[in-house]
Structure 1
Amino acid sequence: MPVAPAPDLLPIAADGQTPVRVLTIAGSDSGGGAGIQADMRSFALMGVHACVAVTAVTVQNSLGVSGYQEITPQIVSDQIRAVVGDIGIGAAKTGMLASSAIIEAVVTTCTESGIGGAGPIPLVVDPVCASMHGDPLLAEDALDDLRTRLFPLATVVTPNLDEVRLITGIDVVDAQSQRAAARALHALGARWALVKGGHLRSRDHSPDLLFDGAEYLEVDHERIDTPHDHGAGDTLAAGLTAALAHGYSVPDAFRFAKAWVTRSLTAAYPLGGGHGPVNPLWRLTGTLAEVDR
Structure 2
Amino acid sequence: MTAPQALRPAADVAVGARRALLRLAATQSVHLGSSLSVVDILVAVHGVMRLTPEDLTDPDRDRLILSKGHAVWALYAVLSELGLLDLGPGRLLPGHPADGTPGVDAATGALGHGLSIGAGLAMAARLHGRAHRTFVVLGDGELNEGSVWEAAMFAAHRRLGRLTAIVDVNGMQQEGRTADVLDLAPLDDKWRAFGWNVATVDGHDHAALTRCLPAAADGDRPTVVLARTVKGRGVSFMEHSAEWHVGSLTPDLLSTALRGLGDPAPVAHG
TM-score tier by shorter-chain length is 0.3 to 0.5
Higher helix proportion (structure 1 or 2): 2
Higher strand proportion (structure 1 or 2): 1
Return the structure number with greater relative CO, CA threshold 8 A, min gap 6.
2
TM-score, normalization by structure 1? 0.36
